[in-house]
Amino acid sequence: MSEAQRRIPSGDPAAEPDLIRAAQKGDAAAFAELVRRYQRAVYRTAYALTRNAADADDLAQEAFVRAYRALGRFRPDEPLHPWLSRIVTNLAFSLFRSRKRRPETPLEPLLESGRQWSVDDDPAKSAEDEERRRHMQNAFAELKPEHQAVLTLRVVQDLSYDEMAKALGVPVGTVMSRLSRARSELKARLGLRSAES
């Protein structure tokens, strides 16, 4: 296989299975292109599940490392997005588990000092009230991991029920009921929190 054969023009959405095949054969450029295509999506999920930039960065990178390793087992014609979501979700779960055993100090300061990324601020963050954001984040953090995951995939990643089923490895019906429960839980918690305040 020559270099020319394996080189895929970047940015062509139709070429994704080809990119995956090329990456499976060890084409680093193809894999890098896949990384570039999904880096934001993966980071978003990682951030939603960890809610701090340092963990999100770590998780997102690690997700791609895992993806690279496991790429050989991936069927190129499957959509990549749910698969990557699954990897990052599982990584977040194991992070949760390890954190439970060894509790971390709250990572809130990282968020606050958020200037660690050269970009001054992000639009969503600067455009809205920090307190409201925290309020919602706290309520979300109290949810069970699987509820967090299902909400993240739906709300942050905008995955369809089918894709979520793939990402979570559960039937579509389970996705539906779990999502509904997660929403009710969140609503209840927001209510609870507001009752306290």
Partner 1 sequence: MKHLTDEQLSARLDQQPAGRSEEIERHLTECAQCRNALATLTAQDRFLGAALAHDPGDEYFTTFAARVEDRLRAESLRGAQARLGHDQAPWLRWFQAPRRIAWIGAVATVVAGAAIVIVTSRDDRVTTISALEVRSAPQSTPTDQVATPPTSVREEADSRSLASAPPATRAPSRDDAVALAPAPPAEPGASPARMRQVGPTAQRGADARPPEPAPAAPAPEGQSQGHRVMKRNYAQPLEADKNLAANEAKKVDEDRQESSAPAPAPATLQARDAAGSMTEKEKASTGGGRAPGFAAPPVASGLAAAPRAGEVQLCGQVVDPDGRPVAHASVMLVTIGRTTTSSDAGAFCLSAPEGSFELSVMAVGFQTSRMQVRVAGERSDVRVTMGAVSVLDGVAKSTGGRLDAGEPVKLNTTTGAKSAAKPAAPAPAKDQAKAKTPPVDPFAGESKAATGLAATAMEATRFASTYPTIPTWEKAAKAWGSANTALKTPAGRSEAFYRIAQAKLMVWRQYPNVARKNEALSAGLAVLAGTPTLAQRKDVMRWMTEVRSGPIGRD
* 57 makes contact with partner 1 (CB under 8 A): yes
Contact range with partner 1 by CB under 8 A, out of 12-20, 30-38, 83-91, 98-106: 30-38
Is the CB of residue 49 less than 8 Å from the CB of residue 92? yes
* 56 makes contact with partner 1 (CB under 8 A): yes
| Among 11, 14, 102, 120, interactor with partner 1 by CB under 8 A | 120
Number of chain residues interacting with partner 1 (CB under 8 A): 71
| Among 5, 7, 12, 109, interactor with partner 1 by CB under 8 A | 7
Q: Which DSSP helix (H) or strand (E) runs through 37? A: helix 28-50
Largest CA distance in the chain: 66
Question: Site residues for partner 1, window 156-195 (CB under 8 A)?
Answer: 156, 161, 176-177, 179-181, 183-184, 186-187, 190-191, 194
For residue 139, how many other CB atoms are within 10 A of its CB? 19
Closest to partner 1 by CB, 4 or 14: 4
In which region does residue 57 sit, left (phi positive, over 0), alpha (psi from -120 to 50) or beta (all else)? alpha
Is the CB of residue 133 less than 8 Å from the CB of residue 127? no
Shortest spacing between CB 145 and partner 1, in angstroms: 14
| Among 51, 81, 147, 166, interactor with partner 1 by CB under 8 A | 51
Instruction: Give the tokens for residue 78.
Output: 């499957």
* 60 makes contact with partner 1 (CB under 8 A): yes
Contact range with partner 1 by CB under 8 A, out of 79-87, 89-97, 101-109, 116-124: 116-124
| Among 20, 53, 92, 167, interactor with partner 1 by CB under 8 A | 53
Alpha helix ranges (H) inside 51-171 = 53-70, 80-101, 108-112, 123-126, 130-141, 145-151, 161-168
CA dihedral sign of residues 99, 105, 110, 112: positive
